Protein backbone atom coordinates (compact mmCIF):
# COMPACT_ATOMS: atom_id res chain seq x y z
CA UNK A 1 0.00 0.00 0.00
CA UNK A 2 1.22 3.52 -0.72
CA UNK A 3 2.58 5.14 2.39
CA UNK A 4 0.22 7.57 4.09
CA UNK A 5 3.34 9.69 4.65
CA UNK A 6 3.52 10.31 0.91
CA UNK A 7 3.71 14.09 0.60
CA UNK A 8 1.31 14.13 -2.35
CA UNK A 9 -1.58 12.74 -0.28
CA UNK A 10 -3.59 15.66 1.01
CA UNK A 11 -6.74 15.88 3.09
CA UNK A 12 -8.99 12.83 3.32
CA UNK A 13 -12.21 13.44 1.38
CA UNK A 14 -13.99 10.14 2.15
CA UNK A 15 -12.94 7.82 4.99
CA UNK A 16 -12.78 4.02 4.49
CA UNK A 17 -15.77 3.35 6.78
CA UNK A 18 -17.91 5.91 4.99
CA UNK A 19 -16.98 4.38 1.63
CA UNK A 20 -17.94 0.88 2.73
CA UNK A 21 -21.16 2.02 4.36
CA UNK A 22 -22.29 4.04 1.33
CA UNK A 23 -21.37 1.28 -1.13
CA UNK A 24 -23.57 -1.14 0.84
CA UNK A 25 -26.41 1.41 0.78
CA UNK A 26 -26.09 1.80 -2.99
CA UNK A 27 -26.10 -2.00 -3.39
CA UNK A 28 -29.32 -2.24 -1.35
CA UNK A 29 -30.93 0.48 -3.47
CA UNK A 30 -29.91 -1.23 -6.73
CA UNK A 31 -31.05 -4.63 -5.43
CA UNK A 32 -34.49 -3.16 -4.67
CA UNK A 33 -34.78 -1.40 -8.03
CA UNK A 34 -33.66 -4.45 -10.04
CA UNK A 35 -35.60 -7.11 -8.15
CA UNK A 36 -36.57 -9.92 -10.54
CA UNK A 37 -34.04 -8.77 -13.13
CA UNK A 38 -30.40 -9.65 -13.74
CA UNK A 39 -28.43 -6.47 -14.38
CA UNK A 40 -25.20 -6.38 -16.32
CA UNK A 41 -22.66 -4.14 -14.63
CA UNK A 42 -20.38 -2.39 -17.09
CA UNK A 43 -17.24 -1.43 -15.22
CA UNK A 44 -15.20 1.39 -16.70
CA UNK A 45 -11.52 0.57 -16.22
CA UNK A 46 -9.37 1.13 -14.44
CA UNK A 47 -10.55 3.33 -11.60
CA UNK A 48 -13.98 1.75 -11.04
CA UNK A 49 -12.61 -1.75 -10.37
CA UNK A 50 -12.35 -1.22 -6.62
CA UNK A 51 -15.84 0.25 -6.32
CA UNK A 52 -17.27 -2.46 -8.58
CA UNK A 53 -15.74 -5.27 -6.51
CA UNK A 54 -17.26 -3.95 -3.29
CA UNK A 55 -20.60 -3.00 -4.86
CA UNK A 56 -21.07 -6.31 -6.62
CA UNK A 57 -20.37 -8.35 -3.50
CA UNK A 58 -23.18 -6.51 -1.71
CA UNK A 59 -25.78 -6.89 -4.46
CA UNK A 60 -28.65 -9.21 -3.62
CA UNK A 61 -29.81 -9.75 -7.23
CA UNK A 62 -28.05 -12.06 -9.68
CA UNK A 63 -25.75 -9.99 -11.86
CA UNK A 64 -23.01 -10.19 -14.44
CA UNK A 65 -20.05 -7.95 -15.18
CA UNK A 66 -18.22 -6.82 -18.29
CA UNK A 67 -15.40 -4.35 -18.68
CA UNK A 68 -14.70 -1.42 -20.91
CA UNK A 69 -11.64 0.79 -21.02
CA UNK A 70 -11.81 4.30 -22.35
CA UNK A 71 -9.33 7.10 -22.14
CA UNK A 72 -10.01 10.78 -22.04
CA UNK A 73 -7.18 12.01 -19.85
CA UNK A 74 -3.92 10.44 -20.90
CA UNK A 75 -1.41 11.40 -18.25
CA UNK A 76 -2.80 14.89 -17.74
CA UNK A 77 -5.08 15.86 -14.88
CA UNK A 78 -7.49 17.83 -17.08
CA UNK A 79 -9.97 16.13 -19.38
CA UNK A 80 -9.25 16.50 -23.06
CA UNK A 81 -12.85 15.81 -24.01
CA UNK A 82 -11.61 13.25 -26.52
CA UNK A 83 -12.76 9.74 -25.64
CA UNK A 84 -11.11 6.66 -27.12
CA UNK A 85 -12.20 3.04 -26.62
CA UNK A 86 -9.13 1.12 -25.48
CA UNK A 87 -11.03 -2.09 -24.72
CA UNK A 88 -14.60 -2.83 -25.74
CA UNK A 89 -17.13 -5.07 -24.00
CA UNK A 90 -16.77 -8.82 -24.58
CA UNK A 91 -20.46 -9.45 -25.19
CA UNK A 92 -23.58 -7.85 -26.66
CA UNK A 93 -25.74 -5.78 -24.32
CA UNK A 94 -28.84 -5.92 -26.52
CA UNK A 95 -31.94 -6.40 -24.36
CA UNK A 96 -29.93 -6.28 -21.12
CA UNK A 97 -30.47 -4.10 -18.07
CA UNK A 98 -27.14 -2.30 -18.06
CA UNK A 99 -25.65 -0.33 -15.19
CA UNK A 100 -22.50 1.64 -15.97
CA UNK A 101 -20.23 1.63 -12.91
CA UNK A 102 -17.90 4.64 -12.73
CA UNK A 103 -15.53 5.79 -10.04
CA UNK A 104 -15.97 9.49 -10.76
CA UNK A 105 -17.97 11.83 -12.96
CA UNK A 106 -16.05 15.04 -13.43
CA UNK A 107 -16.80 17.04 -16.60
CA UNK A 108 -19.25 14.30 -17.59
CA UNK A 109 -17.72 14.01 -21.08
CA UNK A 110 -16.63 10.39 -20.66
CA UNK A 111 -20.04 9.38 -19.39
CA UNK A 112 -21.85 11.31 -22.11
CA UNK A 113 -19.84 9.40 -24.69
CA UNK A 114 -20.44 6.04 -22.96
CA UNK A 115 -24.18 6.64 -22.65
CA UNK A 116 -24.48 7.46 -26.35
CA UNK A 117 -22.29 4.56 -27.38
CA UNK A 118 -24.03 1.96 -25.21
CA UNK A 119 -27.54 3.26 -25.89
CA UNK A 120 -26.92 2.65 -29.60
CA UNK A 121 -26.40 -1.06 -28.83
CA UNK A 122 -30.04 -1.54 -27.80
CA UNK A 123 -30.00 -2.34 -24.06
CA UNK A 124 -33.40 -2.83 -22.34
CA UNK A 125 -32.36 -0.13 -19.86
CA UNK A 126 -29.29 1.93 -19.10
CA UNK A 127 -28.42 3.48 -15.75
CA UNK A 128 -25.32 4.92 -14.14
CA UNK A 129 -23.85 4.24 -10.72
CA UNK A 130 -20.99 6.58 -9.87
CA UNK A 131 -19.12 6.52 -6.60
CA UNK A 132 -18.09 10.16 -6.79
CA UNK A 133 -19.32 13.20 -8.62
CA UNK A 134 -18.02 16.74 -8.85
CA UNK A 135 -21.09 18.80 -9.80
CA UNK A 136 -19.05 22.02 -9.98
CA UNK A 137 -17.01 20.65 -12.85
CA UNK A 138 -19.85 19.42 -15.00
CA UNK A 139 -19.68 20.50 -18.65
CA UNK A 140 -22.62 18.44 -19.87
CA UNK A 141 -26.05 18.07 -18.36
CA UNK A 142 -26.30 14.59 -16.89
CA UNK A 143 -27.04 13.16 -13.46
CA UNK A 144 -26.23 9.53 -12.61
CA UNK A 145 -29.16 7.62 -11.05
CA UNK A 146 -26.95 6.29 -8.23
CA UNK A 147 -24.29 8.49 -6.64
CA UNK A 148 -22.07 7.69 -3.67
CA UNK A 149 -20.72 11.11 -2.73
CA UNK A 150 -20.62 14.61 -4.14
CA UNK A 151 -17.14 15.99 -3.63
CA UNK A 152 -15.55 19.41 -3.98
CA UNK A 153 -13.54 20.44 -7.01
CA UNK A 154 -10.25 18.88 -5.90
CA UNK A 155 -8.17 16.32 -7.74
CA UNK A 156 -9.11 13.08 -5.98
CA UNK A 157 -6.93 10.00 -5.49
CA UNK A 158 -7.45 6.64 -3.80
CA UNK A 159 -10.03 3.81 -3.84
CA UNK A 160 -9.36 3.37 -7.54
CA UNK A 161 -8.54 6.95 -8.47
CA UNK A 162 -5.02 7.63 -9.61
CA UNK A 163 -2.53 10.32 -10.34
CA UNK A 164 -0.01 9.09 -12.88
CA UNK A 165 -1.27 5.52 -12.15
CA UNK A 166 -0.34 5.75 -8.45
CA UNK A 167 -2.52 5.83 -5.32
CA UNK A 168 -5.33 3.59 -6.62
CA UNK A 169 -4.78 1.23 -3.68
CA UNK A 170 -5.42 3.76 -0.92
CA UNK A 171 -8.43 2.59 1.14
CA UNK A 172 -9.83 6.13 1.29
CA UNK A 173 -10.37 9.02 -1.13
CA UNK A 174 -8.00 11.94 -0.60
CA UNK A 175 -7.17 15.17 -2.34
CA UNK A 176 -3.92 15.31 -4.26
CA UNK A 177 -1.58 17.84 -2.74
CA UNK A 178 0.13 19.82 -5.47
CA UNK A 179 3.02 22.24 -5.41
CA UNK A 180 1.81 25.81 -5.71
CA UNK A 181 3.40 26.30 -9.11
CA UNK A 182 2.09 22.99 -10.44
CA UNK A 183 -1.11 23.32 -12.47
CA UNK A 184 -3.69 20.57 -12.25
C1 LIG B 1 -11.66 8.97 -15.07
C2 LIG B 1 -12.94 8.36 -14.53
C3 LIG B 1 -13.93 8.64 -15.61
C4 LIG B 1 -13.45 9.94 -16.20
C5 LIG B 1 -14.29 11.05 -15.63
O6 LIG B 1 -11.03 8.03 -15.86
O7 LIG B 1 -12.81 7.00 -14.28
O8 LIG B 1 -13.95 7.62 -16.60
O9 LIG B 1 -12.09 10.11 -15.80
O10 LIG B 1 -13.93 12.30 -16.17
P11 LIG B 1 -14.90 13.22 -17.03
O12 LIG B 1 -16.24 13.22 -16.35
O13 LIG B 1 -14.23 14.58 -16.97
O14 LIG B 1 -14.95 12.69 -18.41
P15 LIG B 1 -9.52 8.15 -16.38
O16 LIG B 1 -9.54 8.62 -17.81
O17 LIG B 1 -8.72 8.94 -15.40
O18 LIG B 1 -9.05 6.62 -16.41
P19 LIG B 1 -8.73 5.57 -15.22
O20 LIG B 1 -10.05 5.20 -14.59
O21 LIG B 1 -8.10 4.41 -15.91
O22 LIG B 1 -7.81 6.24 -14.23
Which domains can be identified in the chain, with CATH numbers?
A: 9-73+81-176 (3.40.50.2020)
Question: Taking a C-beta distance cutoff of 8 angstroms, is the pair 167, 158 a contact?
Answer: yes
Query: What is the distance in A from the centroid of ligand 1 to the CA of 51?
Result: 14
In this predicted structure, what is the pLDDT of residue 72? 74
Does the beta carbon of 79 sit less than 6 angstroms from any atom of ligand 1?
A: yes
Question: Taking a C-beta distance cutoff of 8 angstroms, is the pair 67, 89 a contact?
Answer: yes
Active site residue 66: no
Please list the alpha-helical segments (H only) found in 76-169: 109-119
Does the beta carbon of 155 sit less than 6 angstroms from any atom of ligand 1?
A: no
CA-proximal residue: ligand 1, atom 17 (nearest): 73
In this predicted structure, what is the pLDDT of residue 71? 83
In this predicted structure, what is the pLDDT of residue 154? 95
In this predicted structure, what is the pLDDT of residue 115? 96
In this predicted structure, what is the pLDDT of residue 178? 77
Query: What is the distance in A from the centroid of ligand 1 to the CA of 124?
Result: 25
Does the beta carbon of 112 sit less than 6 angstroms from any atom of ligand 1?
A: no
The span from the CA of 50 to the CA of 71, in Å, is 18
The span from the CA of 39 to the CA of 83, in Å, is 25
The span from the CA of 104 to the CA of 129, in Å, is 9
* Cα-only R_g, the chain: 16
In this predicted structure, what is the pLDDT of residue 80? 61
Among 70, 167, 151, 55, which residue's Cα sits nearest to residue 104? 151
The span from the CA of 111 to the CA of 171, in Å, is 25
CA-proximal residue: ligand 1, atom 20 (nearest): 47
In this predicted structure, what is the pLDDT of residue 3? 55
How many CB atoms neighbour CB 180 within 10 A?
Answer: 4
In this predicted structure, what is the pLDDT of residue 162? 97
pLDDT in tens, the chain (184 residues): 555 568 999 999 999 999 999 999 999 999 999 999 999 999 999 999 999 999 999 999 999 999 999 987 555 556 666 788 999 999 999 999 999 999 999 999 999 999 999 999 999 999 999 999 999 989 999 999 999 999 999 999 999 999 999 999 999 999 999 765 555 5
As separate numbers, helices (DSSP H) first and strands (DSSP E) second, the chain gives: 3, 9
In this predicted structure, what is the pLDDT of residue 128? 98
Question: Taking a C-beta distance cutoff of 8 angstroms, is the pair 163, 77 a contact?
Answer: yes
The span from the CA of 25 to the CA of 28, in Å, is 5
Residue 98 sits at the vertex; the CA angle it makes with 49 and 149, to the nearest 5 degrees, is 50
The span from the CA of 137 to the CA of 134, in Å, is 6
Amino acid sequence: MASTRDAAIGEILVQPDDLQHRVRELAREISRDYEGREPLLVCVLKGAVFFLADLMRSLEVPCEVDFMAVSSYGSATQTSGVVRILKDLDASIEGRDVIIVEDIVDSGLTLQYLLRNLRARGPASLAVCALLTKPERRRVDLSPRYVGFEIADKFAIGYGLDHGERYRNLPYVAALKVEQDQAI
